[in-house]
Amino acid sequence: MSAAPKGRNSRPKTLNWLDSRESIMRAYVLPIFSALVLVQTSILAGEPVPQKRYSIKEDGPHTGSHVSRERIIGSLPLDKRYSELTREQRSALKSLYEQMAEDDEPPFPVDGLGPLYKGIAEVQKHLLRSRFGLGVDGPLALHVQVDSQGNAMSVAAYQSPDPEVTKYAATIAMLTKYKPAVCRGQPCAMAFPIRIELKSRR
């Protein structure tokens, strides 16, 4: 039996957004690969307490400052694939699961956490603009069910600050390609947990 991510006791809401994937890709996903400017958006990753902090900063400092603010902060490198993580970083990721054998591996985004987190940050930025500066704040906890081929099959939402954030974040997670989990030396199906904190700078 594959390991399950540690979750909350509340019943998750399973989301499938296959019908809207094409429109969401055009509106929200594709732009993040051409021009990502993370403005007025912060994401704090919810992994275990890190020994070292990794972040993505805004393109430039704000008026009156010489320091670019951190927009995405996490305990795992955002630009590393699973194979590039250190033993300590892999252990931190495995600690999110109830049970996992020493040689087993969880699923992980093929291109690392960066594109996934940036996509969610882009959604937060869009909502901030469309709501006249009223941002969305709070924890977002999703479990992405990944099959043995590395394809996302469904997304379960355990916690979210806003229904629109849930919808678009789930779509981005569904469009992400993953390294499949490994159970007893063989690719297997397993959930990948996304736990982040959304914060808007007003």
Confidence label for 155 from pLDDT (cuts 50, 70 and 90)? very high
Q: Is residue 67 part of a domain?
A: yes
CA 79 to chain centre: 13
Half-sphere exposure of 77 (CA within 13 A, CB side): 13
Q: Is residue 23 part of a domain?
A: yes
Q: Is residue 173 part of a domain?
A: yes
Q: What is the pLDDT of residue 187?
A: 98
Domain encompassing residue 48 = 13-200
pTM of the model: 0.71
**Can you tell me whether residue 109 is helix, strand or coil?**
strand
Q: Is residue 108 part of a domain?
A: yes
Give the orientation angle of helix 163-175 with respect to helix 113-130, to 10 degrees: 150
Q: What is the pLDDT of residue 60?
A: 52
Q: How many domains does the chain have?
A: 1
Q: Is residue 5 part of a domain?
A: no
Q: What is the pLDDT of residue 169?
A: 92
Which tens digit of pLDDT belongs to each residue from 160-195? 988 988 999 999 999 999 999 999 999 999 999 998
Q: Is residue 162 part of a domain?
A: yes
| Residue owning tokens 């007893």 | 184
Percent of the chain, pLDDT > 90?
39
Fill in the DSSP letter of residue 84.
G
**Tokens standing for 29?**
């996903």
Which tens digit of pLDDT belongs to each residue from 59-100? 555 445 444 555 555 668 888 999 999 999 999 899 989 889
Average pLDDT, stretch 97-117? 93
Average pLDDT, stretch 112-137? 81
Q: What is the pLDDT of residue 31?
A: 43
Q: Is residue 65 part of a domain?
A: yes
Q: Is residue 1 part of a domain?
A: no
Which tens digit of pLDDT belongs to each residue from 7-37? 654 455 555 544 445 544 444 444 433 333 3
Percent of the chain, pLDDT > 70?
61
Q: Rounded to whole angstroms, how far apart are CA atoms 10 and 160?
A: 12
**Tokens standing for 176?**
């992400």
